[in-house]
């Protein structure tokens, strides 16, 4: 019987051993259960009970059975026990494989979801160590240095060494180191003892061990391949342990460290490939992010070059708005206590702030940079015109004096003529000064407005005697602007920058998490009562992020020191203006209370 020699046959007492001598079977008395040698079969007399937990490996043998029958009963029982053990092993293997599959699936999902490169690398190493009971692990990424391929130590872990073992350095991709050799040949390397590697392969671990007082024994080094099957790095695991929680010392390494198993290699190769793709994807996302950040920065630069007077405005608005958004995110009371913004939403808001004025590239430059009410050069034309009028007046009175002298008039008459001349010249100078004053971007007093209207009705004569108004219609229109530097038509064109920004931003194929950028930027000049522009939205029609930006935009516009068309106001005055607008129902009162209450308008060190 071929299966019998592999089984230990046990009986419950010594008398039974003699009863089976005629069968040719060698039996022994059942010892303590912990001392049973497997595989085993227990032979029972009729009525005997198998010891606890040993029913599956027991068989009842009739006392009157012939030796041949006993041998046949034992043979069949041995085959049944062997089949049961094989089935148990297969079930265990199936469960292990199923668990491994679920773990790999979980790891794959986690790798694709993680966005932080440091956490991603740490997760890769921790997962691999847990699955293989490895004491240490390191992640190496391939790079080029002066055109020479090298491996950069991106991350490392060691359970048994308290101090941080990570040191940023590189090794060549060659056969002098285990990781370099692995990447060079593109296949996994398994060492039972790193100090005595297979022939032709490099020794591993000695430099690390001498530095940290460690002993590297078993080692598994696996190349990382991306979706193009290119080797982009390697993962190295050291010292597989019987129990994962064991801390290794120089004294217990030989007892606690075991070799990495073939199944470990297959599993780690699978995870390494997933990790390589995840890292590649993360690097690609980072490069796209850097590219887009550069595009945004270039766009802001283009805006500021067209309107140097507002340089830095977009960045300041972004800083104020995102600071307000974070305060709203963290607040636990009030209307917005339940508002929580994700990292993507903060990024979305940041881009919307930086690009909110990009539409100014579509506004004519003389309107965009208009510092006075008159367009550049118009005041000089008016001043030249009044200089001509002054010369004409002087010529008129000079002619009158010549005629008086020719008529023999005395000195009193000449003095009277000079007096009238001086009066007219002073009047002309007063008018010119009124025009210069009216040209300033301040709120125009009523008397200045009346003076400008009066001058528009006055005429002068050219050399040929033709009559012309002292102020041309366009000049009068500009000088009649009550506040600021733009007339209604120019203001409409300036306000159109919001619509230009929206149309520009809608041309960009935003990702789903960024699709709100155009709408946020579109609403930054809207007011809650519908008095804003360009759409006259009200209340909740205006996105919350846009309402935040509105407060930041107005505050910066009021306090900015670099606007040529208006003077900066001190922060307390700017806050009073904001409170007044909130009181009129134009601004979000709750957001403004957070902005002012937490002094978000001040530098961090002053809050």
CB contact burial 108-144 (16+ within 10 A = b; e otherwise): beebeebeebeebbbbbbebbbebbbbbbbbbbbbee
**CB distance 362 to 497 below 8 Å:** yes
Both tokens of 600, joined, read: 């978000």
Please check the confidence at residue 583 and state whether its pLDDT lies above 70: yes
- E-strand spans in 246-320? 257-258
What integer pLDDT is reported at residue 445 of this predicted model?
Answer: 66
Name residue, tokens 């010392």. 249
Q: What integer is the mean pLDDT of 378-391?
A: 94
Each residue's pLDDT tens digit, 533-562: 999 999 999 999 999 999 999 999 899 876
CB contact burial 152-191 (16+ within 10 A = b; e otherwise): ebbbbbbbbbeeebeeeeebebeeebbbbbbbbeeebbbb
Each residue's pLDDT tens digit, 198-253: 899 999 999 999 989 999 999 999 999 988 888 999 999 999 999 999 999 999 99
Rounded to 5 degrees, φ, ψ at 467 are: -95, 140
Nearest to 314 by CA among 603, 135, 556: 556
Q: What integer is the mean pLDDT of 332-352?
A: 93
**CB distance 199 to 207 below 8 Å:** no
Both tokens of 187, joined, read: 């296949």
Confidence band for 1, pLDDT divided at 50, 70 and 90: very low
Please check the confidence at residue 2 and state whether its pLDDT lies above 70: no
Is the torsion defined by CA of 327, 332, 338, 342 positive or negative?
Answer: positive
**CB distance 184 to 174 below 8 Å:** yes
Each residue's pLDDT tens digit, 262-285: 888 988 988 888 888 888 888 888
- 50-59, 162-171, 570-579: which is most confident: 570-579
How far apart CA 356 and CA 322 sit, in angstroms, is 14
**CB distance 155 to 224 below 8 Å:** no
Q: What integer is the mean pLDDT of 119-124?
A: 84
> What residues form DSSP beta bridges with 11?
29
How far apart CA 351 and CA 315 sit, in angstroms, is 10
Q: What percent of the chain has pLDDT over 70?
A: 93
Each residue's pLDDT tens digit, 36-65: 888 888 888 888 888 888 888 888 888 888
> What residues form DSSP beta bridges with 9?
27, 41
> What residues form DSSP beta bridges with 469?
459
How far apart CA 137 and CA 558 sit, in angstroms, is 57
How far apart CA 372 and CA 481 sit, in angstroms, is 10
Q: How many CB atoms lie within 10 A of CB 406?
A: 8
**CB distance 154 to 121 below 8 Å:** yes
CB contact burial 61-83 (16+ within 10 A = b; e otherwise): beeeeeeeebbebbeebbeebee
How far apart CA 563 and CA 97 sit, in angstroms, is 70
What integer pLDDT is reported at residue 316 of this predicted model?
Answer: 93
263-270, long-range: CB within 8 Å, 24+ apart, which pairs? 264/131, 264/132, 264/220, 264/240, 265/188, 265/190, 265/220, 265/222, 267/100, 267/104, 267/131, 267/132, 268/128, 268/131, 268/132, 268/188, 268/220, 268/222, 268/235, 268/237, 269/188, 269/222, 270/104
- 329-333, 402-406, 449-453: which is most confident: 329-333
**Residue 213: left (phi > 0), alpha (psi -120 to 50), or beta?**
left
Confidence band for 96, pLDDT divided at 50, 70 and 90: low
How far apart CA 586 and CA 529 sit, in angstroms, is 5
Q: What integer is the mean pLDDT of 462-471?
A: 89
Instruction: Find all residues with CB under 8 Å of 450, minimum gap 6, and list them.
Output: none
Please check the confidence at residue 325 and state whether its pLDDT lies above 90: yes
The DSSP symbol for 538 reads: B
Name residue, tokens 């060079």. 184
Q: How many CB atoms lie within 10 A of CB 496?
A: 16
Q: How many CB atoms lie within 10 A of CB 349?
A: 26
Q: Are strands 40-44 and 8-11 parallel, antiparallel or unpaired?
A: parallel
Nearest to 218 by CA among 140, 153, 133, 275: 133
Indicate the average pLDDT of the chain.
Answer: 87
Q: Map residue 136 onto helix, strand or coil.
A: strand
- 97-101, 177-181, 368-372: which is most confident: 177-181
Name residue, tokens 């024994």. 217
Lowest-pLDDT range of 94-103, 125-134, 205-214, 320-329: 94-103
Please check the confidence at residue 93 and state whether its pLDDT lies above 90: no
Q: What integer is the mean pLDDT of 88-100?
A: 72
Which residue has better confidence, 147 or 519? 519
How far apart CA 537 and CA 373 sit, in angstroms, is 30
Helix (H) or strand (E) holding 412: helix 411-438
């Amino acid at each position: 019987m071929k299966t019998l020699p592999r089984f230990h046959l046990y009986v419950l007492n010594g008398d039974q051993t003699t009863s089976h001598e005629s069968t040719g079977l060698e039996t022994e008395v059942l010892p303590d259960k912990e001392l049973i040698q497997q595989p085993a079969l227990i032979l029972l007399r009729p009525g005997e009970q198998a010891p606890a937990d040993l029913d599956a490996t027991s068989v009842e043998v009739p006392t009157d059975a012939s030796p041949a029958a006993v041998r046949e009963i034992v043979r069949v029982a041995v085959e049944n026990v062997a089949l049961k053990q094989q089935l148990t092993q297969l079930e265990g293997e199936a469960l292990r494989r199923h668990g491994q599959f679920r773990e790999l699936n979980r790891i794959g999902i986690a790798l694709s979801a993680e966005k932080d490169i440091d956490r991603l690398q740490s997760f890769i190493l921790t997962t691999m160590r847990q699955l293989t009971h490895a004491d240490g692990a390191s992640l190496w990424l391939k790079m080029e240095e002066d055109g020479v391929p090298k491996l950069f130590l991106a991350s490392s872990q060691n359970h048994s060494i308290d101090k941080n073992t990570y040191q940023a350095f590189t090794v060549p991709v060659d056969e002098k180191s285990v990781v370099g050799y692995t990447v060079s040949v593109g296949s996994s390397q398994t060492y039972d003892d790193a100090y005595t590697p297979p022939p032709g392969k490099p020794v591993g671990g000695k430099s690390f061990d001498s530095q940290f007082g460690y002993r590297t024994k078993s080692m598994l080094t696996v190349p990382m391949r991306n979706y193009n099957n290119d080797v982009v790095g390697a993962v190295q695991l050291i010292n597989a342990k019987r129990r994962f929680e064991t801390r290794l010392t120089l004294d217990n390494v030989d007892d606690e460290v075991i070799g990495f198993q073939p199944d470990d290699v297959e599993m780690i190769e699978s995870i390494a490939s997933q990790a390589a793709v995840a890292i590649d994807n993360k690097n690609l996302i980072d490069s796209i992010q850097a590219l887009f950040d550069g595009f945004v920065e270039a766009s802001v630069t283009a805006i500021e070059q067209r309107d140097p007077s507002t340089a830095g405005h977009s960045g300041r608005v972004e800083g104020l708005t995102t600071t307000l958004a974070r305060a709203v995110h963290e607040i636990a009371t009030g209307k917005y206590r339940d508002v929580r913004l994700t990292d993507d939403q903060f990024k979305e808001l940041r881009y919307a702030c930086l690009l909110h004025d990009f539409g100014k590239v579509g506004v004519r430059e003389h309107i965009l940079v208009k510092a006075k009410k008159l367009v550049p050069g118009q005041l000089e034309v008016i001043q030249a015109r009044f200089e001509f009028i002054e010369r004409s007046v002087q010529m008129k009175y000079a002619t009158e004096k010549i005629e008086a002298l020719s008529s023999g008039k005395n000195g009193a008459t000449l003095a009277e003529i000079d007096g009238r001349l001086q009066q007219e010249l002073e009047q002309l100078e007063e008018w010119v000064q009124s025009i210069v004053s009216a040209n300033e971007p301040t709120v125009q007093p009523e008397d200045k407005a009346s003076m400008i209207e009066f001058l528009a009705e006055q005429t002068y004569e050219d050399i040929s005697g033709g009559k012309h108004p002292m102020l041309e219609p366009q000049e009068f229109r500009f000088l009649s602007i009550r506040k600021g530097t733009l007339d209604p038509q120019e203001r409409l064109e300036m306000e159109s920058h919001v619509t230009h920004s929206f149309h520009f931003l809608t041309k960009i194929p935003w990702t789903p998490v960024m699709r709100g950028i155009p709408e946020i930027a579109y609403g930054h000049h809207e007011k809650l009562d519908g008095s804003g522009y360009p759409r006259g939205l009200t209340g909740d029609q205006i996105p919350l992020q846009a309402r935040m930006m509105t407060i930041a935009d107005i505050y910066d516009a009021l306090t900015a020191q670099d606007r040529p068309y208006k003077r900066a106001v001190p922060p307390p005055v700017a806050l009073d203006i904001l409170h007044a607008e909130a009181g009129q129902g134009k601004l979000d009162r709750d957001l403004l209370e957070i902005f002012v209450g937490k002094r978000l308008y001040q530098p961090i060190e002053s809050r």
